[in-house]
Amino acid sequence: MRLRLVVALGFAAIVFDGYDLIVFGSVVPALLQHPGWDLTPAEVGAIGSYALIGMLIGAISAGALTDLLGRRRLFIGCLAWFSLMMVGVALAPNPELLGVFRFLAGLGFGGIAPTAIALVVETAPAARRNLLNAVMLVGFPVGGVLAALLAVALLQPYGFRVLFAIGALPLVTLVPLAMWLLPESPRFRRARLRVRMLRPGQLLLFSVANFAGFLLVFGLNTWLPQLMRGAGYDLGSALGFLLALNVGGVVGGLAGSALADRWSPRWVATVLFVVAAGALVLLAVPMPVVAVYAGVAVAGAATVGNQIVVYGYVATHYPTHQRATALGLTSGIGRLGAATGPLLGGLLATSGLPLNVSVFAAVALLGAVAAVLAARGRADVAGELAPPAQHQNPLAEAA
């Protein structure tokens, strides 16, 4: 029962995390036309990026605080914070305050993933850690789909403020439930506070893997349809195209995480990065449209899905007293890839270079190199083998 509660509450929080981030793209046309604001596309793009900057700071800060204060406290705190800030986003009287509240909300967005992942990984049995973590993290694309559907239904008759206000619902739903029902991580309660520096080389490699993963996820979701049209494909609406990418991502995240539990997340993440590179190169080769959509689904499984695997890779590699800090640092730095991806795609879309999709393939290969070098042996015990000597039973304390 405890495990189901942790996964369910984490999934719901990640759904709103994904919704609040992705709904901004759905309201861009309304913001550009809003009377009295006179926003340019560049100004709207800047406002959208403020949340990503906040996420970087929030992920790094919340990760370290989670290892000091506990997973439950930070999870509830981040959830309540970003929900409250979304009230400010919905009521913002001018573009300047809209940007400020988006940045402040980003602090909470960034903290949700490290705390939720730590809770699930430390509550789940070892044989299902990666899979249950993936079940929770697929809430992000689910939130994106929800944002798109609600934008179609509500934006025209009610305006963008209603869509932003929906993002504040956790304040009166999930936050009270979490305060009442969410348990603290059993491993965190048993772990003693130990201060030990994270290995910088290994941390850098995990950060590069996250950077590559986020760049592929956000870059392809933003620009891949346009890049494929530039390659000569008549794909019609981008909706079906992006649906194939993200449905593939859900399947890839669940299947890849199940395989990571059976073997090693190190090798699953590496192989998926290589598969992503191959799929993206093939997409630059003329093929029937049906084959293109199949290739897009495979690319989604190996990019969107692989980012879920990479999260699990980091989480199961580090011991309890370092887990959330490592997740926060690597995912926070990785968020730079989320900002870089759309910029890179925009440059490629306007460059006229042949085979420009292959540039994303090169990023995937960079991720593969980082993933395979980040850890040696089984990742889920690598961080447990050399705890301080004063602990009588370190394997029981570490996760």
Instruction: Determine, yes or no, domain membership for 388.
Output: no
140 lies in the same domain as 231: no
Residue 383 DSSP code: T
205 lies in the same domain as 302: yes
Lowest mean pLDDT among 48-57, 69-78, 272-281: 48-57
Q: How many domains does the chain have?
A: 2
Domain-ending residue, one of 190, 224, 244 = 190
13 lies in the same domain as 32: yes
Rounded Cα–Cα distance for residues 173 and 303 (Å): 32
pLDDT score recorded for residue 153: 86
Instruction: Determine, yes or no, domain membership for 397.
Output: no
Using the CB atoms, write b or e for 243-277: b if 16+ within 10 Å. Answer: bbbbbbbbbbbbbbbebbbeebbbebbbbbbbbbb
pLDDT tens digit sequence for 167-181: 999 999 999 999 999
Rounded Cα–Cα distance for residues 16 and 140 (Å): 8
Instruction: Determine, yes or no, domain membership for 39.
Output: yes
Instruction: Determine, yes or no, domain membership for 25.
Output: yes
pLDDT tens digit sequence for 370-394: 999 998 544 444 444 333 333 333 3
pLDDT score recorded for residue 196: 58
135 lies in the same domain as 235: no
Instruction: Determine, yes or no, domain membership for 299.
Output: yes
pLDDT band at 211; cut points 50, 70, 90: very high
220 lies in the same domain as 89: no
88 lies in the same domain as 161: yes
Instruction: Determine, yes or no, domain membership for 15.
Output: yes
Phi, psi of 264, deg, nearest 5: -150, 130
Of 347, 311, 397, nearest to 129 (Cα)? 311
pLDDT score recorded for residue 392: 37
pLDDT score recorded for residue 226: 65
277 lies in the same domain as 180: no
Predicted TM-score (pTM) of the model is: 0.80
Q: CA separation (Å) from 380 to 13, 127, 318, 330, 367?
A: 25, 10, 7, 17, 20
Kindly tell me if the per-residue pLDDT of 54 is higher than 70. Answer: yes
Instruction: Determine, yes or no, domain membership for 395.
Output: no
135 lies in the same domain as 80: yes
Q: For position 99, which CATH number holds?
A: 1.20.1250.20
pLDDT score recorded for residue 398: 35
For 172, the domain range is 2-190
Instruction: Determine, yes or no, domain membership for 387.
Output: no
142 lies in the same domain as 124: yes
Rounded Cα–Cα distance for residues 327 and 55 (Å): 13
pLDDT tens digit sequence for 268-300: 999 999 999 999 888 877 778 788 888 889 998
Rounded Cα–Cα distance for residues 219 and 32 (Å): 22
- Within its chain, how far is the Cα of 93 from the centroid? 30
Kindly tell me if the per-residue pLDDT of 88 is higher than 80. Answer: yes
| First CA to last CA distance, the chain | 20
Domain-ending residue, one of 129, 155, 190 = 190
129 lies in the same domain as 267: no
148 lies in the same domain as 292: no
Domain-ending residue, one of 190, 213, 231 = 190
pLDDT tens digit sequence for 101-158: 999 999 998 889 889 998 999 888 988 999 999 999 989 888 877 887 888 888 888 9
pLDDT score recorded for residue 385: 37
216 lies in the same domain as 151: no
Most confident range (mean pLDDT) of 79-83, 118-122, 233-237 is 79-83
